[in-house]
Amino acid sequence: MNEENNSQTALKTCAAADVAIVSLMICCIAATFPILRSNRADRVAVFRQNALIAEYPLEEDIAFTVSGKRGPLEIEIKSGVAKIIHADCTKRVCKITGGISHSYEQLICAPNNILVEIRAAAINDTHDIDGISY
């Protein structure tokens, strides 16, 4: 009987320690979300063959056209969301992807060699390391 009580006590202690460890891990993970989202998206950058060709504020509602390798690509920024509204490529995956609005999200039109990226406000205009890695 004494051995049975000892094993039950050991299980209760182990379970309590497990709960404490899991709770601590959940708190640590939850605390990192504000850090990862601290870079507020503020502009849309457009690249052609890895060269920056245009940059627009994300808050400004605007539609513009860029010329790609296979033809024009129409991009729209509206209500803080950037999306491709017309592409002259065969599958139009970039258009089907939909809109982007968060820091470091991208739309890519591979046939046209165009990349549309949401950029975050740089702290003091320095390129500090952020919480997102690829």
pLDDT digits (tens, 9 = 90+) for 17-51: 788 888 888 888 888 766 665 567 889 999 999 99
- Please report which helix (H) or strand (E) contains residue 15, including its range: helix 2-36
Same domain flag for 53 and 110: yes
Least confident of 39-53, 78-92, 112-126: 112-126
- In sign, the C-alpha dihedral spanning 120, 71, 110, 85 is positive
Q: Does any domain span residue 129?
A: no
How far, in Å, are 5, 9, 18, 119 from residue 109 at the CA level?
67, 62, 48, 18
Distance CA 103, CA 123 (A): 14
Predicted model pTM: 0.64
54 and 2 both lie in a single domain: no
Same domain, residue pair 75 and 101: yes
Structural domain range at position 55: 41-121
Q: Number of structural domains, the chain? A: 2
The answer to the question of residue 134 being in a domain is no
Q: Examine the domain organization and report whether 46 and 86 are in the same domain.
A: yes
Summarised one tens digit per residue, pLDDT across range 42-76 is 899 999 999 999 999 999 999 999 999 999 999 99
Q: Provide the token pair at 64.
A: 């513009």
Most confident of 15-19, 71-75, 89-93, 130-134: 71-75
In a domain, 132, yes or no: no
